[in-house]
Structure 1
Amino acid sequence: MKRALLLLLLAGGLLPACHNSNQEKDQHDTASAVVPLLSTPYYYTQLKGAVGGRQITMELLKTAPNLFRGYYYYDSTGLPISIWGSQDADQVKIYEDNGNREEERFFGGALSDDGIFKGVWHGDSTSHHFELHTDLRKAQQLQVYYDADSVKLLPSFPNSPLGIASNSILWPDSATDSTLAAFIRKAITGDIKMNDPRQFVKRAIDSFVTSYRIAAKDADSSDIVDGQSASWNWTTESDMKVVYNSWPLLVIEKYAYDFTGGAHGNSGAFYQTLDLAKRKVVTPDEFFKPGYKEVLSPLLDKAFRKKFHIDEDESLDQNLLVKTIAPNNNFIVTGKGIAFSYVPYEIGPYALGQVTLFIPFTELKSVLK
């Protein structure tokens, strides 16, 4: 049931982000488009500026109440760095999800309705002032929808365990060209006929609530009275993020976490690279020449060793469930390189988490089409 729920959420809010204008690069000028970052409940925007003298691009989303998520990258490298954060009064902290517990790296500052994020970046035992400005000139503009619900296991029991579900999705802006909007909706929902974001965001939540109520029929009420009910506190949450957005490429992350009892929950992030000009989903087989897997595996092994500080003389299967890392279809393309991402248990143990490995284009010349 856990895996089925996770896949359902990934296949599949409730306020729209903001009114944006159409993106088609050569048809509309969006230089003046600004997302009000304080007053808009949920949104996606793209910010640009410099940190420590290096230009960055931030794909920032507010996907739930007081919750920020997204990615940023240094323009010179194109390596996507996952970010998350929250707001306390008028101050926002956006942390890098880098897995380094020794030192936090984060953007601390204030958002404005002028589309500006200004403050101080902390990391690497130093700090840098930054000022990021909205820049949607080359970006496909999107809306964010969010919704949540909860249900008691035993409605008549005051301290009943809960099933809690939340869902946040992306949606093409209302002014987007109709054929492009249909393509993006199909990529997001998997259903060419789905054109109601509120219905779609609610569908996964309703499915979870129904599953919880069905499972509740097997619950032992005596265990709940005795306080042995932690495993019935089910949770499911899903959201979508923008990883990269520069015409014609739009990369979307679909993430889901699902706990339905047991030792731990299941989670995973799945990626789609969309070519908006050609109206197609980019796959590795279309992107690389035949025989690319044999070339990419050593490069992925190298990227893993670098990311996790593994010596060359140490075999990878001492840390992973595989001897070498093969490319999969969980595929990201940016302006500077590509990445493959592996959900827990795919190549490594659960404790390792999801592993995303980036390879710059400079190392891929022999296999690029």
Structure 2
Amino acid sequence: MKNLVFLLFGLVILFACNNPKNSANDDTGSNLRTELPENFYKRLEGTIAGKRVVMNLQKVNGDYDGNYFYEGSWLNLSTDTIIGKDSVVLSENSFYDYYFDKDAKQAHLHLKWTGNGFNGSWENGDKTKNFPVRLVEKYPAGSYEFSAGLYEDSTKAFADRTKSPVASISFEYLQARASDESGNWLNNQLKRISGITPGNVDREIGFKKIAEAYFSDYKKEIAEQQKSGPDRGFEEWMNYTNNSQQSISYNGNGFVVIDFLADAYTGGAHGNYSSTMFCLDVQHKKQMILSDVVKIDSNTLQKLLEKNLRKQYNIKPQDEINSVLFDNFLKPNKNFYFNDNGLAFMYNPYEVASYAQGQIVVFIPFNELKAYLVPAFAERIGVK
């Protein structure tokens, strides 16, 4: 969770029209490589400022994205400065930082690859505090290794014009490395999430079919616009985009949580985006529903959501919730996810608040949910 929005809106058309490219992961060598590959996913454990953290970090086409958590909700990471093939500066932000101050000075992680992890430092936004960072790549039992890659393609609206509106599409994807039962199941789920029929269908073939259908619809819309007469200015907004990204929010204890972020522009003042969270129980080969995590009535859960919304979005006791949201309440939805410390609910733009406010995420610590946690889930996640 990635700064998710800015990452995807920053994608540009890198390849010639109708010339698809599938950039697969090249991290196939020893863990002691001193240069980072172009594409990878890494699960890292260690400490930041002496606090234990778990970080999910991926790099695709030279761009970093990730998250880490320790005693609370997630902090999101995105590329700030690439220093070399083994060093990078990552910007750190949370949903709440963006909500309160879009111009806030972000903290940064200065990281250097050691061959099996990162060493470096954490620095706050005004550079008054600096703490050591020590991270090692680890995949304990119940966690899974993945490779990362990118497929992208584009087409012109008018093939005979040098300057023409363009439609582009991209898929940033993950692929489980293991070829055992768990790996095969995970890969089928990852294909399904991207819109590919599970099975032996190659990802590139699946992405190509989706792209062809998207381009066909685009050409039909162009034809319809031309029927209406002269240009009418539509060429100014016919540069359509359709991008998606799979990233990992949690990877452990036999669970994998995938954040599937999709953004598109189809004309108008701005595009739109949304995250769909997929909580996968690899151990039992199922996509989880909320009742697999908590057994709780909706009224009690709503009260906990509203309590934590107030705390995390700084809504004072005397203020109404609709000072932040459309309505004066916040109901639970099905777009949930979790880590070792708690349960979160994701609300996409326009779902409960305006587009300008971005995604609203509310995190409920497990210590507030202990009485309602499903015992088998609590045992696996390590909640006592």
Q: What is the TM-score with the length of structure 1 in the denominator?
A: 0.83
Write the letter of the residue equivalent to 2:74: P
Which of 352, 358, 373 is 1:353 aligned to? 358
Give the aligned partner of residue 379 of structure 2. none
Write the letter of the residue equivalent to 1:68: Y
In the TM superposition, what is the alpha-carbon distance from 1:73 to its structure 2 partner?
A: 0.9
Whether the 8 Å CA contact 1:240–1:255 is kept in 2: the answer is yes
1:125-136 pair list within 5 angstroms: 125=126, 126-136=129-139
**1:262 aligns to 2:268 (yes or no):** yes
Whether the 8 Å CA contact 1:145–1:168 is kept in 2: the answer is yes
SS of the counterpart of 1:60?
strand
Which of 273, 279, 283 is 2:285 aligned to? 279
In the TM superposition, what is the alpha-carbon distance from 1:239 to its structure 2 partner?
A: 0.6
In the TM superposition, what is the alpha-carbon distance from 1:87 to its structure 2 partner?
A: 4.9
Structure 2 CA distance for partners of 1:147 and 1:264, relative to 1, 3 Å: same
**1: CA distance between counterparts of 2:239 and 2:211?**
15
SS of the counterpart of 1:348?
coil
In the TM superposition, what is the alpha-carbon distance from 1:234 to its structure 2 partner?
A: 1.1
* CA offsets 1:185-212 (integer angstroms, 9 cap, x no match): 3322333325423223434333332222
1:1-369 pair list within 5 angstroms: 13-19=22-28, 34=31, 36=33, 38-63=35-60, 65-74=61-70, 76-77=71-72, 79-85=73-79, 87-90=81-84, 91-98=87-94, 99=98, 100=101, 101-111=103-113, 114-123=115-124, 125=126, 126-138=129-141, 139-173=143-177, 175-177=178-180, 179-190=181-192, 191-220=197-226, 223=231, 229-291=235-297, 293-369=298-374
Structure 2 CA distance for partners of 1:97 and 1:238, relative to 1, 3 Å: farther
Structure 2 CA distance for partners of 1:68 and 1:58, relative to 1, 3 Å: same
Aligned length in residues: 336
**2: CA distance between counterparts of 1:320 and 1:128?**
36
SS of the counterpart of 1:306?
helix
Write the letter of the residue equivalent to 1:355: I
**1: CA distance between counterparts of 2:169 and 2:34?**
26
**1: CA distance between counterparts of 2:205 and 2:304?**
43
In the TM superposition, what is the alpha-carbon distance from 1:273 to its structure 2 partner?
A: 1.2
**1: CA distance between counterparts of 2:155 and 2:147?**
28
Once the two structures are aligned, what percentage of the paired residues are identical?
24
* CA offsets 1:302-354 (integer angstroms, 9 cap, x no match): 22222221111111123212221111111112111111111111111111111
Gaps of 5+ in 1: 1-12, 21-32
In the TM superposition, what is the alpha-carbon distance from 1:248 to its structure 2 partner?
A: 1.0
**2: CA distance between counterparts of 1:205 and 1:111?**
36
**1: CA distance between counterparts of 2:32 and 2:251?**
16
Whether the 8 Å CA contact 1:168–1:201 is kept in 2: the answer is no
**2: CA distance between counterparts of 1:36 and 1:267?**
36
Whether the 8 Å CA contact 1:104–1:122 is kept in 2: the answer is no
Write the letter of the residue equivalent to 1:66: G
**2: CA distance between counterparts of 1:167 and 1:204?**
10
**2: CA distance between counterparts of 1:347 and 1:120?**
37
Write the letter of the residue equivalent to 1:302: K
Bigger relative contact order, structure 1 or 2 (CA pairs below 8 A, ≥6 apart): 1
* CA offsets 1:233-283 (integer angstroms, 9 cap, x no match): 111211100101112111111001100101211100111111111111121
Whether the 8 Å CA contact 2:41–2:56 is kept in 1: the answer is yes
Q: What is the TM-score with the length of structure 2 in the denominator?
A: 0.80
* CA offsets 1:93-139 (integer angstroms, 9 cap, x no match): 22223214221122123335x13323322226422232322112242
Structure 2 CA distance for partners of 1:287 and 1:85, relative to 1, 3 Å: same
Write the letter of the residue equivalent to 1:133: V
Structure 2 CA distance for partners of 1:124 and 1:366, relative to 1, 3 Å: farther
Whether the 8 Å CA contact 2:89–2:108 is kept in 1: the answer is yes
Whether the 8 Å CA contact 2:39–2:62 is kept in 1: the answer is no
SS of the counterpart of 1:229?
helix
Write the letter of the residue equivalent to 1:47: L
Whether the 8 Å CA contact 1:185–1:195 is kept in 2: the answer is no
**2: CA distance between counterparts of 1:36 and 1:235?**
36
Please tell me the root mean square deviation across aligned C-alpha atoms, in Å.
Answer: 2.4
Write the letter of the residue equivalent to 1:121: W
**2: CA distance between counterparts of 1:287 and 1:268?**
23
**2: CA distance between counterparts of 1:36 and 1:268?**
36
